[in-house]
A and B are shown apart, each in its own frame.
Chain A
Amino acid sequence: MTNLSRRDFLKLARDGFLWLSGALALGGLLRFLDYEPNPAPKTEFDLGPADQYPLGSRTLLTDPPAVLLHTESGFSALSLVCTHLGCTVEQNADGFICPCHGSRFDADGNVTHRPADKPLHSLRVEITPQNTLRLRLD
């Protein structure tokens, strides 16, 4: 073991103490800022009576942004939140186009033009016992 003078030891102890308190304070600050004060965004949306949406209909929803489809095989929904960075896509003749960076999707939500590289999410639609529709984002 090297010989540590009393003065050096005290200096080392002081520096160590200061760095440690600094690190602890920083850690505390980061945890402080990490809290999410806002309620998590809604994941369930009531869409009202199912018979509002007749067979073959295609309804544009704004909250959440989605299209609701009623086909032979039941209800389904396609999210209109662009999978690139989250703008809302707009409908056009052959599907959807995102105004923010120009991603394009076909009517089923598959990417036809970058930069998005994932298809639009399909959302779950449930029929409640009261025969209303409920949309889940999950």
Chain B
Amino acid sequence: MRPSFFHHLHPPAIPAAQARWRHTLGAGGTAVFLMLLLGVTGILEMFYYVPNPEEAALSVQTLTYHVPFGGFIRNLHYWSAQLLLIVSAVHLLRVIFTAAYKYPRRFNYLLGLGLFVLAVMLDFTGYILRWDQGICWPLTTGTNLIKTIPLIGGFLFRLAVGGGDACQTALTRFYTWHIFALTLPVVVLGVWHAFRVRRDGGIATPPARLFLDRTRIPRDELVRREAAAMFIVGILLILLSVFFPAPIAPAMIDKPSLNAETRAPWFFLWVQQMLKWGDPFIFGVLIPLGILTLLALIPYIFPQPADSDIGRWFPKSNRLAQVVVTVIAIFVIILTLINT
């Protein structure tokens, strides 16, 4: 049989250490599974979703309350998207805490970071597609934030929204961004990311000469573990979807009423909290972008972890990166909690 991309990612045997739960946490693989699920449920939603300001919210209601299993599909899409953010963040932390980002994997680290940013943008654009009263203020403040960027702010705003008053006009563009213009880059980066994992020698472990554990597991065993992870995540998603439906507020007619939701979606609560402190450009744009840049630079300017430490949890030689990332994570979590 000719080897396929599947075989590229599942060689006949791999070192057992690369497939241990306690090493990978299964996070990267789970993210792939969630993205596939998002693709399938998203396409199903498109059969009913009407991307038109007058009808969008009503079509989501039709989907949710009338279409057989429509609510379930929508909830699966919603919960997969929320889990995806958590799982990707866990994956990112794991890669840093096990010093796996070191050369030759640092380019793939950047691809992964790009995927994470795209996932956040997809989650935000998808949330806007509800087009109910709850999305107007987060949409307005979020897109006005773009305008505060010096020189190119106005241009980026038009790029994202298409101009005008976001709560009346942004839907066409956000729909296109969501189902195509962000999804396509996710597919490209995602395939590339997976390809590079194998290309860079599989999941990071200490170099062979320093490594005593020579056991290997066959392809079947790897596939079995992946199936087990998918099964567990699948059950979790089904439970969440059945017991905690995705929110939907009344349709947005012109501007929302005064009691409309003013809180950002949960993954931007920390930014919303910072916006209370002062200049929107500094707190809403510079600091988040600064954090992202800092993360991107870790494999390039931080002290290099020792070869023997690669693939071990919390090794001494990348302590600085661990501390910086932990501080960032705690900062984001605390701000989120303050604003809840």
Contact = CB atoms under 8 A, between A and B. Distances in A.
Interface of A: 30, 33-41, 62-63, 65, 84-88, 90, 99-102, 114-115, 117
21 contacts: A33-B159, A35-B158, A36-B162, A36-B163, A37-B163, A38-B169, A41-B164, A65-B255, A85-B140, A85-B141, A85-B280, A85-B284, A87-B137, A87-B141, A87-B262, A88-B258, A90-B258, A100-B137, A100-B275, A115-B278, A115-B280
Most chain A CB within 10 A, of B145, B168, B278, is at: B278
A37 B162 CA distance: 7
A84 B280 contact: yes
B272 A101 contact: yes
B331 interface: no
A37 B318 CA distance: 51
Interface residues of B, number: 27
A86 B280 contact: no
B255 A62 contact: yes
B279 interface: yes
Contacts of B158: 33-36
A41 B165 contact: yes
Given A38-B168, A65-B255, A100 B141 contact: yes
A88 B164 contact: no
A101 B164 CA distance: 23
B47 interface: no
B276 A99 contact: no
A102 B258 CA distance: 15
Contact of A101 (B159, B168, B169, B276): B276
Nearest to B136: A87
Contacts of B5: none
A100 B254 CA distance: 19
A29 to B, nearest CB: 10
Interface of B: 137, 140-141, 144-145, 155, 158-159, 162-165, 168-169, 172, 254-255, 258, 262, 272, 275-280, 284
Contacts of B165: 41
Contacts of A88: 255, 258
Contacts of A85: 140-141, 144-145, 275, 280, 284
A100 B141 CA distance: 8
Contacts of A102: 276
A84 B165 CA distance: 16
Contacts of A115: 275-280
A111 B280 CA distance: 16
A34 B156 CA distance: 8
A28 B255 CA distance: 34
Contacts of A63: 254-255
Contacts of A90: 258
The 9 lowest CB-CB distance pairs between A and B, nearest first, are A36-B163, A38-B164, A85-B141, A99-B262, A38-B169, A101-B276, A85-B144, A86-B140, A86-B144
Contacts of A39: 164
Given A34-B155, A37-B162, A100-B262, 14 more contacts: A30-B159, A34-B158, A34-B159, A38-B163, A38-B168, A40-B163, A85-B140, A85-B280, A85-B284, A87-B137, A99-B137, A99-B262, A101-B272, A115-B278
Contacts of A62: 255
Contacts of B141: 85-87, 100-101
